Amino acid sequence: MSALVGRRYAVALYEIAKEQNKVAEFAKDCQFVAETLQNSRQLLNAVKSPIINQEKKIALLKAVFSGKVSKLVEDALALLARKGRSPLILDVMREFQALLDEQSGVVTAQVESAVPLGEAETQAIAEKLEAYSGKKVRVEVKVNPALIGGFAARIGDTVIDGSVRRQLERLKERFKQVSLN
């Protein structure tokens, strides 16, 4: 439900940005707001808190973002707080980015790797995933030592699992089938 409401606000913000020919500026501002909230647990908790009233949230958001984002994005944050939707601010910022991605044909791939990847490895994976999907791919990498080696990638509902763990699971399944026959 919150993602749906966040999407509605993001669509409205996107339409305004488009009307004013400021989509790129809005995108930077939304990314800045999202990163700031993600990097400050205290700020995120304050914005989501049901105990803190709307006026205090508006003042807090203004203190943090005034002069760092466009006036329109600042006003949108205040509007969300005024309407009691401040817990959705992060969702709105993410949905705005998702709208931009949809408009420009970009997909996000969540990649899990057994070890940290270097820039060259990440780029090589991105290129392979772009060839596979036919779209521009933004790669988000997480380390998951349980994979043992290799990587697993998810683009939307599609999973590409080239991990050693998955290969071992397949081998185990084959041995079971052979031993049953």
Identify the residue whose tokens are 């970009």.
106
Q: Are 36 and 79 in contact (CB under 8 A)?
A: no
- Domain-wise residue ranges, the chain: 2-101, 107-180
Q: Which residues contact 93 (CB under 8 A, 6 or more apart)?
A: 10, 30, 31, 33, 34, 37
Q: What share of the chain in percent tops pLDDT 90?
A: 67
Taking the model in full, what pTM does it have?
A: 0.68
Beta carbons within 10 angstroms of residue 25's beta carbon: 15
pLDDT of residue 4 exceeding 90: no
Residue position matching structure tokens 């994005």: 73
φ/ψ region of 150 (left if φ > 0, alpha if ψ in -120 to 50, else beta) reads left
Q: What is the pLDDT of residue 161?
A: 87
Burial of 163 (0-12, 13-18, 19+ CB in 10 A): buried
Please report the sign of the dihedral spanned by the C-alpha atoms of residue 96, residue 101, residue 107, residue 111.
negative
Query: Would the pLDDT of 36 be above 80?
Result: yes
Tens-place pLDDT, residues 103-158? 888 988 999 998 999 999 999 999 999 998 889 999 999 999 988 888 899 998 88
Domain 2-101 adopts which CATH fold? Peroxidase; domain 1 (1.10.520)
